């Protein structure tokens, strides 16, 4: 039996683009960061609106090692289309967390790993009225499951939800209920693991912020004097323009008037024309 490490963990989350997994993944990542544990994330997604596979990888390491690891300790297997390959991405002795609302296919079983099933679909159907939100909030169940397994306090999760959806109390309540359902289910099933324990580090991330490349580029453009932004969405650069939309009103004001213009054009060629 392995001796659990402390604050040294690699997680990969396999989902489908357009199902709302980005929000769930960010909640999980920000919770680990809020605990003071050095961590990084990488989103590998296709250039489409919906339907293709996407993977999100988190690495937490007390010594500050941020590069993605070749070995995956835990994989969240929430995409049937990639499951047959995903089961071999996790290391021997690792964990496969999957939605067992339906039985696991025979070809998705392998030796040397620990399977943990959580009926995410079934749990969400009881908690969320029939709506497009149900599919998205299914992902919140694995956030709760991982939180219990690795020692992320629910108060930390709640604080991150409030930071993220501060002006939407109904959204906070609904997401928190789904996360709590995953947390409670894994706890009641008696699942345990000997891979890693996440423990808070006092002032571990003091003076640090969470950012990514496109947001950093947007901030650089603002302080560099950008005044006109012309763009078209659904590209890898979308988050750059979205960051500009978010930060410009806060950082570029003069006598109460905007000193910039943002144009979302009807297509890429029109955006270039501006």
Q: All domains of the chain, ordered by start, with CATH?
A: 5-197 (3.40.920.10), 213-273 (no CATH)
Torsion of CA 92, 16, 246, 141, to 10 degrees: -70
DSSP 8-state secondary structure symbol assigned to residue 68: P
Residue whose token pair is 């409670």? 184
In this prediction, residue 142 carries a pLDDT of 98
Residue 47 clears pLDDT 70, i.e. is over it = no
Helical axes 132-150 vs 21-34, angle rounded to 10°: 30
Answer with the residue of higher pLDDT: 4 or 89. 89
In this prediction, residue 180 carries a pLDDT of 98
Q: How far is CA 59 from CA 5, 69, 144, in A?
A: 13, 8, 18
In this prediction, residues 63-67 reach a mean pLDDT of 94
DSSP 8-state secondary structure symbol assigned to residue 46: -
Query: Percentage of the chain with pLDDT > 70?
Result: 97
> From CA 18, how far away is CA 26, in angstroms rounded?
15
- Strand runs labelled E in 65-156: 72-77, 90-98, 114-117
In this prediction, residue 46 carries a pLDDT of 66
Nearest CA-CA partner of 86 in 68, 106, 110, 63: 110
Phi and psi at 45, nearest 5°, equal -135, 155
- Please say whether the beta carbons of 241 and 231 come within 8 A: yes
Q: How far is CA 163 from CA 2, 148, 209, 252, in A?
A: 36, 21, 14, 23
How much is the pTM?
0.87
In this prediction, residue 127 carries a pLDDT of 92
In this prediction, residue 65 carries a pLDDT of 95
In this prediction, residues 130-158 reach a mean pLDDT of 92
């Amino acid at each position: 039996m392995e001796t659990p490490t402390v604050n040294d963990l690699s997680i990969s989350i396999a989902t489908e683009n357009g199902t709302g997994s980005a929000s769930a993944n960010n909640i999980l990542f920000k919770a680990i960061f809020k605990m003071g544990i050095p961590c990084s994330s990488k989103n590998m997604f296709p250039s489409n609106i919906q339907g293709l596979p996407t993977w999100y990888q988190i690495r937490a390491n007390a010594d500050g090692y941020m590069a993605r690891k070749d070995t995956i300790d835990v994989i969240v297997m929430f995409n049937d289309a990639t499951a047959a390959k995903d089961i071999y991405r996790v290391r021997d002795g690792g964990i496969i967390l999957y939605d067992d609302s339906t039985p696991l296919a025979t070809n998705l079983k392998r030796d040397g790993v620990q399977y943990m099933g959580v009926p995410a679909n079934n749990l969400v159907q009881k908690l969320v009225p029939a709506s497009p939100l149900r599919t998205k909030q299914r992902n919140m169940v694995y956030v709760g499951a991982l939180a219990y397994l690795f020692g992320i306090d629910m108060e930390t999760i709640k604080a991150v939800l409030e930071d993220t959806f501060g002006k939407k109390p109904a959204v906070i309540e609904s997401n928190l209920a789904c996360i709590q359902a995953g947390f409670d289910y894994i706890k009641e099933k008696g699942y345990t693991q000997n891979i890693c324990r996440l423990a808070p580090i006092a002032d571990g991330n003091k003076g640090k912020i969470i950012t990514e490349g496109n947001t950093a580029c947007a901030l650089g453009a603002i302080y560099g004097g950008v005044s006109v932004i012309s763009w078209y969405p659904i590209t890898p650069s979308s988050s750059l323009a979205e960051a500009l939309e978010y930060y410009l009103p806060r950082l570029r004001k003069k006598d109460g008037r905007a000193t910039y213009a943002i144009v979302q054009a009807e297509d890429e060629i029109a955006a270039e024309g501006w």
